[in-house]
Amino acid sequence: MFGGAGGKPVRVMGVDPGLTRCGLGAVEGRPGAPLSLVAVGVVRTGADEELGTRLVGIEAGIEQWLDDVRPDAVAVERVFSQHNVRTVMGTAQAAGIAVLCAARRGLPVALHTPSEVKAAVTGSGTADKKQVGTMITRLLRLAEMPKPADAADALALAICHIWRGGAQHRLAEAMARAGKGR
């Protein structure tokens, strides 16, 4: 399922959830090997639209991406507490839609924290958006930084999952096997 150092490349779709701009990005690769950009973009909804309409729009956009990209796994940013409760609620609702769409298809879903993603991509869990964007551009050998930042963040999530998700998955499987052997 997950690519290993010598294994088959894995295709991961990253989702940077948001109600106004939901960043989406897909990357293919495996740890220790060059990564390839599959697709990058955003699903947009209008701030003046009803909440239900916005969530349906995000769902339709994510479903279309899943059809087009055909990922092996989906990585979603883990929502963390922010000072603005309205912002965190919208982000959590969009994240829930992403998890639902992936689960409906039987795709594994991983949640990664922003600091985990930053550390995986830049080496520092406190990197700023420009540092993350610069590293994404280098790692995927792109001519320019993906824009908007939500799209770059989605690519960072996918890269983080390729590099860390496989190891986490194998560790969880090993721990489950060890638990059954007791």
pLDDT in tens, 12-56: 999 999 999 999 999 999 998 999 999 999 999 999 999 999 999
Selected catalytic residue, list 16, 59, 72, 153: 16
DSSP 86-136: HHHHHHHHHHHHHHHHHHHTT--EEEE-HHHHHHHHHS-TT--HHHHHHHH
DSSP 26-82: EEEE-TTS--EEEEEEEEE--TTS-HHHHHHHHHHHHHHHHHHH--SEEEEEPP---
| Domains of the chain, CATH where assigned | 10-180 (3.30.420.10)
Residue 150 annotated among the catalytic residues of the structure: yes
User: How does pLDDT run across 86-127, given as a tens digit for each residue?
Assistant: 778 889 999 999 999 999 999 999 999 999 999 999 999 999
Q: Is the predicted pLDDT of residue 182 greater than 60, yes or no?
A: no
Selected catalytic residue, list 28, 59, 72, 77: 77
Selected catalytic residue, list 28, 59, 72, 150: 150
Residues 6+ apart with CB under 8 A from 64: none
Residue 16 annotated among the catalytic residues of the structure: yes
User: How does pLDDT run across 54-65, given as a tens digit for each residue?
Assistant: 999 999 999 999
0.85 surpassed by pTM: yes
